[in-house]
Chains A and B, each alone.
Chain A
Amino acid sequence: MSLMYDLYQPGRSPLHRADPRVKLLGVVCASAALLTIQNLWLILLALAGVHGLLLGAGVRRERILWIWRVTLPTVLLIAILWALLNPTPEEPWLAWWLIRLSAYNLAQGLAIGLRIAALAFVVFCWLFTTEQSDLVLGLVSLGLPYTWGLVLAMALRYLPTLGSAFRTISEAQQARALDLTRGGPVRRAKAYIPITVAMLIASLRTTQHVSYALESRALGALPHRTYLRQLHFRPRDWAYTIGILLATGVFFWARLALGLGTHPLAL
């Protein structure tokens, strides 16, 4: 049932087989790089690159479309607001009231919006190709307490459950003649109260049951625990690490010394 939402996509691609710590390093470096640029072309290049990685790892097209569906509203909202409300250093095409529209701030808005999508894609690249126990193990081996890793894994695990509970609850309330489509924004927001409250109560119940289940399976019986799975940092993981660090170094040199990626359109 949660097929659509199950994040991990089993596979044997190089991305799947890379050590989760290397992938985490990649996520951190790529995110840091993305956050420093606002050039539309570079962002598009980065997006193309992540799509290449995902497709190369055998992630299904529907999953990629799903990420777009989730991020697109935010991307568009940011792009439009930014383009409309940010002053432009160039001669605007259109000037009306507070609004100054130009190629410059339009490109900048798009770049900043798409940056959100690119960041999401980078993170999903990691989540789609890393089994959750490896993910936890990776974080633990980097010194994070086990419970933190467990909480992250559980959050990922129960997100789809909450999603389908939300759907069922909103169906159940609509079947009681709750109308979610009529009226102004305030009335519509109010219409969501029955769903939100039922959702909250149901989640509390689930949380309680999950915590009983964890305890009855001896969580916290001993100060240390062992792991069935083991991470292997292979030679190729070292190669990836060096590659990622080098690429990041070169990028930041170009960014700082040459001003790469600061202008929304020019390179």
Chain B
Amino acid sequence: MTEAPIITVRGLRYRYPPTLPGREAEPVLRGVDLDVARGEFVALMGPTGVGKTTLCLALNGIVPQSTGGVIGGSVTVLGHDTRHTPVPQLARDVGIVYQDPESQLFSATVEAEVAFGPENLALPRAEIAERVAWALNVVGMAASRGRSPAQLSGGQKQRVAIAAALAMLPQILILDEPTAALDPLGRLEVFRVIEQLRNDQDMTIVMVSQDPEHVAIFADRLALLAEGRIVAEGPPAELFYALDQIAAVGVAAPQLAELSVALERCHGLQRRFMLLDEAEATLRTQWEPEP
């Protein structure tokens, strides 16, 4: 018998308050159902403007508590109803990292940034110090604790943002396109940290991403969000080969997954791959002349 899910979303519907008076906003979410098990890494992909960020914000209560608007259905995180449990309260269990580094690093030093959450929980000083040291270590930023976040590179900034969330010792980490604003090096840095969290910290992770190559490597499960609903979900190694379905949603599959499907069409290849090593090994065994 498996454990009950740590996150349960049922029939979630949501509409933001009108941005212009007298103009009703379109509903963003139109009935989302999603379960996430403890320790699972779920990637969320979907076209721009489809409500991925809204869903993230619903998981830590900012939607609807801070945004207002009309909500229906339910979101339960670790037994808390996120519509009513105060956001600062939920913050103990749900850490979140946003897309834009600039607006989530508001302190003058890295240390102060990471200490901010634990300080709000009124923890004893010694424990705050311990958590700050631990979190900065996990993301590999211990050497920069005295520096100003403004002096860091994009990748380093996002690692500090992750540390700041980790210092609350959350059981769930939400990442809303954490690498969208980064260059390839910064992306790699952040994904290394995420990989480590997944492997060593047994964290439950929900990550929104436009980056199929990395989702293919890290995620246990991929959920596709379109028109306010989850329209498909499954292991990336299955879903990414359903190219028609992926294209219908408007997101990208890993380029090598597309290649393996194309190779079946033009060369009758029966095997699938989406990672570089996998692809190389497959093609070698398939076509390398027998010695």
Task: Answer yes or no: B270 CB below 8 A from chain A CBs.
Answer: no
Q: Chain A residues with Cβ under 8 A from B125's Cβ?
A: 226-228, 230
Q: Give the docked Cα–Cα distance between A36 and B118 (Å).
A: 45
Q: Give the docked Cα–Cα distance between A227 and B76 (Å).
A: 32
Q: Chain B residues with Cβ under 8 A from A236's Cβ?
A: none
Whether the pair B109, A131 counts as a contact (CB closer than 8 A) is: yes
Task: Answer yes or no: B259 CB below 8 A from chain A CBs.
Answer: no
Task: Answer yes or no: B21 CB below 8 A from chain A CBs.
Answer: no
Chain B residues in the interface with A (C-beta under 8 A): 57, 60, 62, 66, 86-89, 91-92, 94-96, 98, 100, 102-104, 106-109, 111-112, 115-125, 128-129, 132, 146, 148, 150-151, 164-165, 168
Task: Answer yes or no: A175 CB below 8 A from chain B CBs.
Answer: no
Contacting chain B: which of A40-48, A209-217, A252-260? A209-217
Task: Answer yes or no: A206 CB below 8 A from chain B CBs.
Answer: yes
Chain A residues in the interface with B (C-beta under 8 A): 1-3, 5-6, 8, 10, 131-133, 153-154, 156-158, 160-161, 206, 209-222, 224-230
Closest-CB distance, A45 to chain B (whole angstroms):
32
Q: A213-B106, A219-B88, A228-B112 are in contact. List 10 more A-B contacts (CB 8 A).
A: A8-B148, A131-B109, A132-B109, A133-B107, A212-B98, A216-B62, A217-B120, A221-B89, A221-B122, A228-B119
Q: Chain B residues with Cβ under 8 A from A156's Cβ?
A: 108
Q: Which residue of A lies closest to B86 (CB)?
A: A221
Whether the pair A226, B112 counts as a contact (CB closer than 8 A) is: no
Q: Chain B residues with Cβ under 8 A from A226's Cβ?
A: 119, 122-125, 128
Given contacts A226-B128, A228-B125, contact A160 B150 (CB under 8 A): yes
Q: Which residue of A lies closest to B108 (CB)?
A: A132
Q: Chain A residues with Cβ under 8 A from B106's Cβ?
A: 153-154, 157-158, 210, 213-214
Closest-CB distance, B201 to chain A (whole angstroms):
19
Task: State the 5 A-B residue pairs at the shortest beta-carbon distance, nearest first.
Answer: A132-B108, A221-B88, A209-B103, A218-B91, A213-B104
Whether the pair B107, A157 counts as a contact (CB closer than 8 A) is: yes
Closest-CB distance, B85 to chain A (whole angstroms):
11
* Residue of B86, B103, B122, B165 with most chain A CB atoms under a 10 A cut-off: B103
Q: Chain B residues with Cβ under 8 A from A209's Cβ?
A: 98, 100, 103-104
Closest-CB distance, B75 to chain A (whole angstroms):
15
Q: Which of B117, B129, B148 contacts A217 (CB 8 A)?
A: B117
A-B contact pairs, 17 of them (CB 8 A): A2-B150, A3-B150, A8-B148, A131-B112, A132-B107, A133-B109, A212-B98, A215-B87, A218-B92, A218-B121, A219-B88, A219-B116, A221-B91, A224-B122, A226-B123, A226-B125, A228-B129
Whether the pair A218, B88 counts as a contact (CB closer than 8 A) is: yes
Q: Chain B residues with Cβ under 8 A from A1's Cβ?
A: 150
Q: Which residue of A lies closest to B88 (CB)?
A: A221
Whether the pair A219, B104 counts as a contact (CB closer than 8 A) is: no
Closest-CB distance, A79 to chain B (whole angstroms):
35
Q: Chain A residues with Cβ under 8 A from B129's Cβ?
A: 228
Whether the pair B103, A215 counts as a contact (CB closer than 8 A) is: no
Q: Chain B residues with Cβ under 8 A from A161's Cβ?
A: 102
Q: Which residue of A lies closest to B62 (CB)?
A: A212
Q: Which residue of A lies closest to B127 (CB)?
A: A226
* Residue of A157, A160, A211 with most chain B CB atoms under a 10 A cut-off: A157
Q: Give the docked Cα–Cα distance between A230 and B111 (Å).
A: 14
Closest-CB distance, A24 to chain B (whole angstroms):
17
Closest-CB distance, B16 to chain A (whole angstroms):
12
Q: Give the docked Cα–Cα distance between A6 and B66 (Å).
A: 31
Q: Which residue of A lies closest to B111 (CB)?
A: A228
Q: Chain A residues with Cβ under 8 A from B168's Cβ?
A: 217-218
Q: Give the docked Cα–Cα distance between A161 and B87 (Å).
A: 27
Q: Which residue of B lies closest to A157 (CB)?
A: B106
Closest-CB distance, B17 to chain A (whole angstroms):
13
Q: Which of A211, A215, A227 contacts B119 (CB 8 A)?
A: A227
Whether the pair B151, A10 counts as a contact (CB closer than 8 A) is: no
Q: Give the docked Cα–Cα distance between A227 and B123 (Å).
A: 8
Q: Chain B residues with Cβ under 8 A from A228's Cβ?
A: 111-112, 115, 118-119, 125, 128-129, 132
Q: Give the docked Cα–Cα distance between A267 and B134 (Å).
A: 61
